[in-house]
Amino acid sequence: MTRPLLNRRLDGFGTTIFAEMSALATRTGSINLGQGFPDTDGPEEVREAAVRALRDGRGNQYPPGPGIPELRSAISEHQARRYGLAFDPDTEVLVTAGATEAIAAALLALLEPGDEVIALEPYYDSYAACIAMAGGRRVPVTLRPSAGRDRFVLDLDELRAAVTDRTRLILLNTPHNPTGTVLTRAELAAIAQLAVERDLLVVTDEVYEHLVFDGEHVPLVTFPGMRDRTVTISSAGKTFSFTGWKVGWVTASPGLVNAVRTAKQFLTYVASGPFQYAVAEALRLPDTYFSHLADDLRAKRDLLSNGLVEAGFDVFRPAGTYFVTTDIRPLGDDDGFAFCRSLPARCGVVAIPNAVFYNDTNGGTAFVRFAFCKRTEVLHDAISRLKQLRS
Ligand SMILES: *Cc1c(COP(=O)(O)O)cnc(C)c1O
């Protein structure tokens, strides 16, 4: 057999770095600050709601294709309460198997082969693969260190210059994984204006909407002209610390939801039946739940960021998400891959080289990402281990 088994669209998409690094963490007994999942579960009452649904026989058989009505209503109410947005739960909300399926379904539904997709680089690993599976062409616009080298910023001129006659959509992500950048109101207004001017769709991944530490999260769809050209994606995983439940959702105008549902119904059809009932209750938790979640993670952001500075890293302090990106050059290293592969042996910590989130293998070579969505004592332990690097 001379023909390779993996088709050309998926050429280069081997095993994700997360599998390699998590296996390394287990093998070496290292603290895993690689993959972004909390090491404590979300609210007890939400977990109990899932148990109740299972016991009461709700969601144990195929739930409705678009998601159970209780959850679609709760999502619609959340958008209204939080952002003053009105989405019809019957025609403008779609429940998916996590944000991951929503991203895949949106790209498969909205792209023709050859369409260009602009994505903020470094990007979440599924974006490149999904654009490729949909036959689209990925056009990266790279977030770069600010003049003060304290955060990553978007160059709006670069974004404008990346739009061509073949551009179908912008795949946005704010708060941004892995850099922790939260796009400002002014930046979002400029992106919205560009989308309107060039008649583009925007698929916006806002799974970290509640994990903002400085500034505010403003949904792109709130800007003039965006209501009918924006597919907003979010998920219960990060907001409620149940990343294994895989309950995500899309909110958009009826035509866009219809398109995404057409692709989605042939991916999983439906998923996470009983968990949908639990997430419907979770979305109705009082505002204090959401503010405590952000406060708790802000303290962890500060703890790990300060520890990394003391350990000798250059730190880009994130305004949101689970992650802090560092530059390893002050430690005398410049190859993030080699650094991350050697880190478990050197000090018993696992991190992720940001180069995996870039288009070309030379991008972001010296940047390394650490997750701080872990218990305080775990972070303290990791910091004291990382401080050994310099001795
Ligand atoms: C975690 C994450 C997702 C995936 O969300 P799920 O609901 O677990 O599928 C999507 N986008 C970004 C940026 C993420 O960090």
Summarised one tens digit per residue, pLDDT across range 301-311 is: 999 999 999 99
Q: Is residue 93 scored above 70 in pLDDT? A: yes
Q: Is residue 5 scored above 90 in pLDDT? A: no
pLDDT tens figures, 242-298: 999 999 999 999 999 999 999 999 999 999 999 999 999 999 999 999 999 999 999
User: Where residue 152 falls among pLDDT bands split at 50, 70, 90?
Assistant: very high
Spell out the residues 6+ positions from residue 82 whose beta carbon is closer than 8 angstroms to its own.
Answer: none
The span from the CA of 210 to the CA of 212, in Å, is 6
The span from the CA of 325 to the CA of 177, in Å, is 10
- Separation in Å, CA 213 to CA 155, 276, 317, 330: 22, 28, 10, 26
Q: What is the mean pLDDT of the chain?
A: 96
Q: Is 205 in the pocket of ligand 1 (CB under 6 A)?
A: yes
Q: What is the DSSP letter of 360?
A: S
- Separation in Å, CA 31 to CA 75, 163, 319, 341, 366: 35, 42, 24, 14, 21
Q: Is 99 in the pocket of ligand 1 (CB under 6 A)?
A: yes
Q: Is residue 360 scored above 90 in pLDDT? A: no
The span from the CA of 42 to the CA of 297, in Å, is 13
Q: Is residue 382 scored above 90 in pLDDT? A: yes
Q: Is 272 in the pocket of ligand 1 (CB under 6 A)?
A: no
Q: What is the pLDDT of residue 390?
A: 84
Contact 121, 143 (CB under 8 A): yes
Q: Is residue 349 scored above 80 in pLDDT? A: yes
Within 10 angstroms of residue 345's Cβ, the number of other Cβ atoms is: 10
The span from the CA of 194 to the CA of 200, in Å, is 8
The DSSP code sequence of 25-80 is HHHHT-EE-SS---SS-S-HHHHHHHHHHHHTTSSSS---TT--HHHHHHHHHHHH
Within 10 angstroms of residue 303's Cβ, the number of other Cβ atoms is: 17
Q: What is the pLDDT of residue 361?
A: 62
The span from the CA of 346 to the CA of 340, in Å, is 10
Please report the atom of ligand 1 found closest to the CA of residue 322. Answer: 15
Q: What is the mean pLDDT of residues 77-83?
A: 98
User: Where residue 4 falls among pLDDT bands split at 50, 70, 90?
Assistant: confident
Q: What is the mean pLDDT of residues 130-135?
A: 96
User: Where residue 3 falls among pLDDT bands split at 50, 70, 90?
Assistant: confident
Q: Is 124 in the pocket of ligand 1 (CB under 6 A)?
A: yes
Q: Is residue 1 scored above 80 in pLDDT? A: no
Q: Is the peptide bond before 66 cis (omega within 30 degrees of 0)?
A: no
With residue 22 as reference, give the H or E element that holds it.
helix 17-28
Q: What is the mean pLDDT of residues 56-69?
A: 98
When comparing pLDDT for 54 and 361, which is higher?
54
Please give the distance, rounded to the nearest whole angstrom, from the Cα atom of residue 234 to the centre of ligand 1. Answer: 8
Within 10 angstroms of residue 296's Cβ, the number of other Cβ atoms is: 13
pLDDT tens figures, 177-236: 999 999 999 999 999 999 999 999 999 999 999 999 999 999 999 999 999 999 999 999
> Could you give phi then psi for residue 322, rounded to 5 degrees?
-95, -5
Q: Is residue 117 scored above 80 in pLDDT? A: yes
The span from the CA of 92 to the CA of 61, in Å, is 24
Q: What is the pLDDT of residue 14?
A: 80
Q: Is 121 in the pocket of ligand 1 (CB under 6 A)?
A: no
The percent of residues in the chain predicted with pLDDT above 70, rounded, is 99
Contact 175, 321 (CB under 8 A): yes
Please give the distance, rounded to the nearest whole angstrom, from the Cα atom of residue 388 to the centre of ligand 1. Answer: 33
The span from the CA of 223 to the CA of 195, in Å, is 11
Spell out the residues 6+ positions from residue 129 whose beta carbon is closer than 8 angstroms to its own.
Answer: 10, 13
Pocket perturbation via mutation, ligand 1, pick of 238, 325, 372 by most ligand atoms within 8 A of CB: 238
Q: Is residue 107 scored above 90 in pLDDT? A: yes
- CA-angle at 227, arms to 95 and 289, nearest 5°: 50
